[in-house]
Structure 1
Amino acid sequence: MYVMKALLSRKLSALGLFIISVIILAAILAPWITPYPPELQLFEGLTLEGAPLPPNSQFWLGTDLLGRDLFSRLVYGAQTSLIIGVIANGTALFIGTLVGIVAGFYRGVIGAFLMRFTDLMMAFPALLLAIVLAAIFTPSLWIVAMVIAMVNWVQVARVIYSETVSLAERDFIVAERSLGASNFRILFKHIAPHLIYSTIVFGTLGISTTVLLEATLSFLGVGVQPPTPSWGNIIFENQTYFATAPWLVFLPGLGIVSLALGFNLVGDALREILDPTMKGKH
């Protein structure tokens, strides 16, 4: 409750919450607020020359190159971005936290192996690695989510590892060891609770990165495949009409930027609120 009040008291984080809430609400209510199914091609959705229609009373945001209602595809595209954002980021957060906490607590051979593997993964450009993985597997919503998770966990692992190493040297942990506490008890009762705030911040900020990466993969043709709507593949499909029908590219681009901005604003505010060393700096 305190965190929510603190977020609402800040103008930028309140704006971020508003943007996120609007997009989530639209995605949830998609079947009821969209006038057409997102994959439905309409003959009246094209001009006599076969070009997309501009925004009008029947098609609120116009149509795409196949005569599909752009508003419907954008709203359902929000579903795709949010599903991938939550699943991919949640999976990356779980893997990164598990690797970081195990490596930081046990160290030695186990820690060295896990962190060298993390360094190896970090050596590959994330986008290039994601493109390679997406090209190997048949692209689908779930495959794209897993591919993004596999390239995004390394940053989480690095930060959690550093925090775990620092916590493991604290006096209260040394005291627990001297009292004969098990590793399980130390890990989950004394170390893990101190990492909750970091994972919350990473979870919020990571969604914006995930949304941008999904849009990039879809734009390059190795992400979510049509006819499933995605903001990235909407831009990819309609890029040839950028000069004559710019709304086909501008509107999904605006959706991507808005969602990423919303989560970044909230994530930055959470970092200031939950990190005591940053209080009073905003």
Structure 2
Amino acid sequence: MVAETGTARDPSPETSPGTPSVLTRLLRRPLALAGLVIIAVVVLAAALAPWLAPYDPYEQFFDGLTIEGAPLPPNAQFWFGTDLVGRDLLSRLIYGAQTSLVIGVAANGIAVVIGSAVGISAGYFRGWTDTVLMRFTDLMMAFPALLLAIVLAAIFRPSLWIVAMVIAMVNWVQIARVTYTETRSIAERDFVVAERAMGAGAGRILLRHILPHLLSTIIVWATLGIATTVLLEATLSFLGIGVQPPIPSWGNIIFENQTYFSSAPWLVFIPGAAILALALAFNLVGDALRDILDPTQQGRH
């Protein structure tokens, strides 16, 4: 049915005045709240690193090694101990949070933009656009993501932004598939068909009617994807083809100190626990957002 104003009504669900906000509903979930707290702690630590870190992350201390030249265990001066060259591990972890977050957010943001653009374009325009874009997506999905990332990282000289671009290039395919499927479904709905029949252009339909219906899906995938990019960055850095030392990242801290795994296990366990905690936090928040924003879940919680 066409409205009197001459435009088709978009049946987007409207939030009633008494409906709690997404943030309020998120805070009511204990697991999601725990995830938000962990994310907030890591973000604050990264943002305030120059003031929170007790030492320069690159400074090598003469008293930071034992007489035998081994790293010091956690003590009153170095709370998390020192690494294999006498640098304070706590300071390197705090500065490493900057690297992990920058790459996680930047790489995932680029991946979301690329994947959404590919999926929406293929799902709406169909025809040869659909064929070319989705076959290319299938081709990218056929390669193991880690192997492709290793190849790309080996071709380009690793740096902070090169690593972010490499991770984005292998992570956009999943969201492209999801947005493609949903766009095809939305494009067949009556309000879109009516808009098209009245002569509305593709840009107006995509921006005014299709994209708003995809925002919840994109937000959820963007949140969940950060955990994936953080883990992939840590993996690449651990393999020695990610962010290069002496720039601290949680992955290359493990890579640098792996030879002391048996004699100084804190050098591996502590940054490993940080990676695990941050990835788990984003997954908890992403899962909660999926339940909250999925219309099929409305009223169940």
Confirm whether residue 20 of structure 1 aligns to residue 61 of structure 2. no
Confirm whether residue 97 of structure 1 aligns to residue 116 of structure 2. yes
The alpha-carbon deviation at position 279 of structure 1 amounts to 3.2
SS of equivalent residue, structure 1 residue 272: helix
After TM superposition, the runs of 4+ consecutive aligned structure 1 residues lying more than 3 A away are 279-282
The alpha-carbon deviation at position 185 of structure 1 amounts to 0.7
Equivalent in 179, 195, 213 of residue 194 of structure 1: 213
Count the aligned residue pairs: 282
Separation in structure 2 between the aligned mates of residue 182 and residue 233 of structure 1, nearest angstrom: 50
Confirm whether residue 34 of structure 1 aligns to residue 53 of structure 2. yes
Confirm whether residue 209 of structure 1 aligns to residue 228 of structure 2. yes
Confirm whether residue 159 of structure 1 aligns to residue 178 of structure 2. yes
Aligned residue number for residue 146 of structure 1? 165
Letter in 1 for 2:103: I
Letter in 2 for 1:40: E
The alpha-carbon deviation at position 211 of structure 1 amounts to 0.3
Letter in 1 for 2:263: T
The alpha-carbon deviation at position 163 of structure 1 amounts to 0.5
Letter in 2 for 1:228: I
Letter in 2 for 1:204: T
Aligned residue number for residue 46 of structure 1? 65
Aligned residue number for residue 202 of structure 2? 183
62-71 or 176-185, which deviates more = 176-185
Letter in 1 for 2:186: L
Equivalent in 246, 254, 259 of residue 240 of structure 1: 259
SS of equivalent residue, structure 2 residue 75: coil
Deviations 1:207-263 (A, max 9, x none): 000000000000000001000001111011111111111100000000000000000
Letter in 2 for 1:160: T
Letter in 1 for 2:101: L
Letter in 1 for 2:242: G
Separation in structure 2 between the aligned mates of residue 225 and residue 281 of structure 1, nearest angstrom: 47
SS of equivalent residue, structure 2 residue 207: helix
User: What is the TM-score normalised by the length of structure 2?
Assistant: 0.92
Deviations 1:63-92 (A, max 9, x none): 000100000000011110000001000000
Letter in 2 for 1:155: Q
Separation in structure 2 between the aligned mates of residue 10 and residue 90 of structure 1, nearest angstrom: 26
Equivalent in 126, 145, 150 of residue 145 of structure 2: 126
Letter in 1 for 2:195: E
Deviations 1:127-176 (A, max 9, x none): 00000000110001100000000000000100000000000000000110
Aligned residue number for residue 89 of structure 2? 70
The alpha-carbon deviation at position 281 of structure 1 amounts to 5.1
Equivalent in 219, 223, 236 of residue 242 of structure 2: 223
Separation in structure 2 between the aligned mates of residue 83 and residue 51 of structure 1, nearest angstrom: 32
Letter in 2 for 1:225: Q
Separation in structure 1 between the aligned mates of residue 56 and residue 148 of structure 2, nearest angstrom: 34
Separation in structure 2 between the aligned mates of residue 180 and residue 252 of structure 1, nearest angstrom: 57
Query: What stretches of structure 2 of length at least 5 have no aligned partner?
Result: 1-19
Separation in structure 2 between the aligned mates of residue 32 and residue 255 of structure 1, nearest angstrom: 20
Separation in structure 2 between the aligned mates of residue 166 and residue 126 of structure 1, nearest angstrom: 28
Separation in structure 2 between the aligned mates of residue 220 and residue 281 of structure 1, nearest angstrom: 44
Letter in 2 for 1:94: V
